[in-house]
Amino acid sequence: MTAKVDLNITAGKETVGEPWIWRLSREFEVRVNLKRANIDTDYGWAEVELEGPIEEIQRATAWLMTTGLHVEAQQRAVGA
């Protein structure tokens, strides 16, 4: 079963330059869709859609929360 989850992610000065989108796409079996973003040298935010198996989305979201980023789920859709 696949799912889609929309996340709002914000990064402060210490995490804004980290390659977390790249790591999401490499280390988890999720498709990463960057919907909107605004990144500067000391602050950034992104609206990201993750699509894939529910377990992988949960793993990816849990990992994001360990990186120092602020992660907030917006919407969730589950399909067959």
**Contacts (Cβ under 8 Å, ≥6 apart) of 53:** 1, 2, 3, 29
Residue 29 lies in a domain: yes
Q: Give residue 79's pLDDT band: very low, low, confident or very high (50, 70, 90).
A: low
Q: Give residue 75's pLDDT band: very low, low, confident or very high (50, 70, 90).
A: confident
Residue 63 lies in a domain: yes
Residue 1 has a pLDDT of 79
Residue 37: beta bridge partners? 46
Instruction: Report the amino acid identity of residue 60.
Output: A
Residue 80 lies in a domain: no
Residue 52 lies in a domain: yes
Which CATH number do you get for residue 25? Answer: 3.30.70.260
For the chain, the average pLDDT equals 92
Count of domains observed in the chain: 1
Q: Which domain holds residue 50?
A: 2-75
